[in-house]
Amino acid sequence: MEDKIMNLLHMTRKAGKLKSGFDACERSCFANNAKLLIYASDLAEKRKNHILNLANANNVKIVEYGSKSLYGKEFRIRDIGIICIEDANFAKGILRSIG
């Protein structure tokens, strides 16, 4: 299951529809581009509360999945705790896979 979700995230990134990091996801929400926010289970509580409020205020679906080190390893960048999907079809596929 994890491989399928990671494959979808990689395809989303290649399509240019994945934003990573708090600031990029926040901008995407404010621009009404975000369709899904995914935050890591080990995200700091203060960041988690802020991103939950942001998602609720902008009617963006949000889900907890994975860890910061998992995303950091997969995308070969520093550990990231929040990623944002800007495509409705990719978002639906990921939500279906996460269950």
Tell me what pLDDT residue 88 has.
95
Q: What is the pTM of this model?
A: 0.90
Pick from 79, 72, 85: nearest CA to 25: 85
pLDDT at 76: 84
Residue 83's pLDDT is 93
Q: Alpha-carbon distance 51 to 22, whole Å?
A: 8
Alpha-carbon span 43 to 33, nearest angstrom: 23
Dist. CA 65–CA 98, nearest whole Å? 8
Work out the end-to-end distance of the chain between its first and last CA atoms, rounded to an integer number of angstroms: 10
Low-confidence ranges of the chain (pLDDT < 50): none
What pLDDT, on a 0 to 100 scale, did the predictor assign at position 1? 64
